[in-house]
């Protein structure tokens, strides 16, 4: 399947989350693997007040009749004021999960257009036309996931829309 | 008797803790201090995976160590989806 999903996802997040005005987003970066050490490095190199991470995973349903796209969204305070306000200023481990000021686990499920075919037979159908059906479903699910993230971020800030 | 009571209490506490799902929320004073945000998008997959039907014993039992161990054992012995089906769905 000739398809660059990470680039598609990043563009969607950039377009959606970039419009959340109260975040004042600056840079959007794509990481393919984040260990705790790498995250510590990113955290230290950033110059922003807040670091927002969106970790996405995607998979077929067990019977291959649909796909699921999951997003784990976390927000860490970086500035001294925010660390003070969130009560994390004195903690040595600045990237500890306990320091997050926002957390959301969101999921979007999409049915694939298969006319009742399941399992291995479904895979054969899905492989046709360079897996156009899978790409379409992934694109739609990603757009929906971005909308959910934006909606939840605004809800957490007590705002109805951007 | 007291020992049994303590053990039961600890087990009940473990179940409650395992079942919790916390969400951290922002407050107004924090919002005022968010003047810039860097966003990191993380995707560590290189292809679309297949979901395996998971054992949900722990969830239905309300959490805890023993149901979690049953889940782990169940997942370990469950047949994996043939990986040979999937390379066609590489996503870079």
Higher pLDDT pick, A124 / B91: A124
Write down the pLDDT at residue A93. Answer: 85
Q: Which positions in chain A touch B29 (Cβ < 8 Å)?
A: 85
Whole-angstrom CA distances from B64 to B55, B72, B78 are 14, 12, 21
Compare CB distances from B43 to A56, A68, A79 and report the shortest one's residue: A56
Q: How many Cβ atoms sit within 10 Å of the Cβ of residue B70?
A: 15
Q: Identify the structural domains of chain A with CATH numbers, from first to last.
A: 5-156 (3.30.160)
Residues of B with CB under 8 A from a CB of A: 21-31, 33-45, 48-53, 81, 85-86, 88-92
Question: Are B30 and A86 inside 8 Å of each other by CB?
Answer: yes
Q: How many CB atoms lie within 10 A of CB A148?
A: 17
Could you give the ipTM of this predicted complex? 0.93
Q: pLDDT tens for residues B2-47?
A: 556 555 555 444 444 433 344 666 888 999 999 999 999 999 998 8
Percentage of chain A modeled with pLDDT above 90: 65
Q: Determine, for residues B48 and A102 on separate chains, whether the beta-carbon distance falls below 8 Å.
A: no
Contact B47, B31 (CB under 8 A): no
Tokens found for residue B77: 């012995």
Determine, for residues A51 and B37 on separate chains, whether the beta-carbon distance falls below 8 Å. yes
Residues A93, B38 contacting (CB under 8 angstroms) = no
pTM: 0.77
- pLDDT value at residue A91: 84
Average pLDDT over residues A38-51: 95
A145-151 average pLDDT score: 95
pLDDT for position A162: 47
Angle of CA points A155, A156, A158, to nearest 5°? 60
Q: What is the pLDDT of residue B35?
A: 96
- Mean predicted confidence (pLDDT) in A76-95: 90
Cα–Cα nearest to A69, from A148, A11, A132, A150: A148
Least confident of A13-17, A59-63, A156-160: A156-160
Query: In the 8-state DSSP scheme, what is residue B85?
Result: G
Q: Is the pLDDT of residue A79 over 50?
A: yes
Among A115-129, A135-149, B19-33, where is mean pLDDT lowest? B19-33
pLDDT computed for residue A118 by the predictor: 81
How confident is the model at residue B87, as a pLDDT? 47
**Alpha helices (H) in A4-118, listed in sequence order:** 5-17, 36-45, 80-85
User: If you average pLDDT over residues B52-79, what whole number do you get?
Assistant: 55
Tell whether the model's pLDDT for residue B48 goes beyond 70.
Answer: yes
């Amino acid at each position: 399947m000739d398809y660059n999903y990470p680039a598609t996802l990043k563009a969607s997040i950039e377009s959606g989350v970039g419009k959340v005005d109260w975040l004042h987003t600056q840079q959007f970066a794509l990481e393919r693997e984040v260990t705790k050490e790498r995250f510590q490095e990113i955290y230290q190199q950033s110059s922003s007040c807040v670091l927002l991470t969106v970790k996405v995973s995607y998979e077929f349903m067990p019977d291959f009749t649909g796909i699921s796209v999951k997003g784990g969204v976390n927000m860490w305070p970086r500035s001294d004021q925010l660390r003070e306000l969130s009560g994390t200023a004195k903690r040595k481990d600045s990237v500890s999960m306990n320091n997050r000021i926002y957390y959301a686990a969101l999921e979007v499920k999409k049915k694939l257009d298969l006319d009742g075919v399941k399992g291995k037979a479904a895979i054969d159908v899905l492989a046709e036309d360079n897996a156009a059906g899978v790409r379409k479903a992934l694109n739609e699910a990603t757009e929906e996931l971005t909308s959910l993230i934006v909606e939840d971020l605004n809800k957490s800030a007590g705002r109805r829309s951007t | 008797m007291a020992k049994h009571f303590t053990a039961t209490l600890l087990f009940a506490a473990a179940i409650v803790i395992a079942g919790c799902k916390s969400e951290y929320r922002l407050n107004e004073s924090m919002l005022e201090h968010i003047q810039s945000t860097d966003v990191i998008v993380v995707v560590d997959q290189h292809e679309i995976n297949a979901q395996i039907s998971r054992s949900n014993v722990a969830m239905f039992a309300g959490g805890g160590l023993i149901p979690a161990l049953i889940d782990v054992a169940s997942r370990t012995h469950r047949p994996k989806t043939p990986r040979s089906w999937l390379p066609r769905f590489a996503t870079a």
